[in-house]
Amino acid sequence: LKIGIINITGYAGAELARILSRHPEAQITTITGRSEAGKKLGQVFPHLSHLDMTIAPELGDSVDVVFSALPQVASAEAIVPLVRAGIPVVDISADFRLKSAEEYQQWYQTPHPAPDLLENSTYGLTELYRSNIKHSRLIANPGCYPTGAILALAPVIKEGLIEPDIVIDAKSGVSGAGRGLSLTTHFSEVNENVFAYAVEGHRHLPEITQELARLNVDFRPSPLFQPHLIPMTRGILTSCYATFVSGVFKDPKMAAKQVRDLYETFYNKERFVKVVSIPPQTKQTWGNNHCLIYPMVEPRTGRLVIISALDNLVKGAAGQAIQNMNLMLGLPDHLGLEGVAIYP
Q: Pick between residue 138 and residue 291 the one whose CB is nearest to its own copies.
A: 291
309: nearest Cα among 233, 260, 241, 238: 238
- What are the φ and ψ backbone dihedral angles of 247, each rounded to 5 degrees? 85, 0
Interaction with its own copies in 287-326: which residues (CB under 8 A)?
Answer: 287, 292, 294, 296, 298-301, 303, 305, 307, 309
> CA triplet 244, 245, 246: central angle to 5 degrees?
105
The answer to whether the beta carbons of residues 90 and 324 sit under 8 Å apart is: yes
Dihedral of CA atoms 270, 273, 274, 279 in degrees, nearest 10, equals -170
314 DSSP assignment: I
187 binds its own copies (CB under 8 A): yes
Query: Buried b / exposed e across 239-259, counting CB within 10 Å, b at 16+?
Result: bbbbbbeeeebeeeeebbebb
Using rule CB under 8 A, residue 183 touches its own copies: yes
Positive or negative, the Cα torsion across 315, 224, 170, 198? positive
Q: Which one, 136 or 285, has the nearer CB to its own copies?
A: 285
> Of 78-86, 123-131, 258-266, 335-343, which segment contacts its own copies by CB under 8 A?
335-343
Tell whether residue 241 is a contact of its own copies (CB under 8 A): yes
Please give the Cα distance from 148 to 291 (Å, whole number): 7
Nearer to its own copies, 87 or 152 (CB): 152
Stretch that binds its own copies, among 82-90, 106-114, 147-155, 175-183 (CB under 8 A): 175-183
Q: Does 169 bind its own copies (CB under 8 A)?
A: yes
Give the chain's radius of gyration (CA, Å): 20
Query: Which burial class, exposed, middle or buried, applies to 219 when counting CB atoms under 10 A from its CB (0-12, 13-18, 19+)?
Result: middle
CB atoms within 10 A of CB 344: 4
Residue from 29, 54, 216, 281 binding its own copies (CB under 8 A): 281
Question: Rule CB under 8 A: is residue 269 a binding residue for its own copies?
Answer: no
Chain Cα centroid distance, residue 275: 18
Binding residue (CB under 8 A) for its own copies from 30, 239, 323, 326: 239
- Please list the active-site residues: 144
Which range, of 140-148, 195-203, 257-265, 323-331, touches its own copies by CB under 8 A?
Answer: 195-203
Q: Using the minimum distance from each CB to its own copies, give the nearer residue, 23 or 214.
A: 23
Least separation in angstroms between CB 95 and its own copies: 22
Closest separation in Å from C-beta 159 to its own copies: 21
How many degrees, rounded to 5, is the angle at CA 324 between CA 322 and CA 328? 115
Q: What is the DSSP letter of 88?
A: -
- Which of residues 39, 84, 186, 257 is near its own copies by CB under 8 A? 186
Of residues 85 and 278, the one with the C-beta less far from its own copies: 278
* Contact status: 34 vs its own copies (CB under 8 A): no
| Nearest approach, Cβ of residue 50 and its own copies (Å) | 7
Question: For the residues of 213-236, what is the DSSP string, one character each?
Answer: HHT-TT-----EEEEEE-S-SS-E
When the beta carbons of 117 and 236 are compared against its own copies, the nearer one is 236
Instruction: Give the footprint of its own copies on residues 86-105 (CB under 8 A).
Output: none
**Site for its own copies contains 21 (CB under 8 A):** yes
The interface region with its own copies, picked from 154-162, 191-199, 211-219, 256-264 by CB under 8 A, is 191-199
CA atoms within 13 A on the CB side of 151: 33
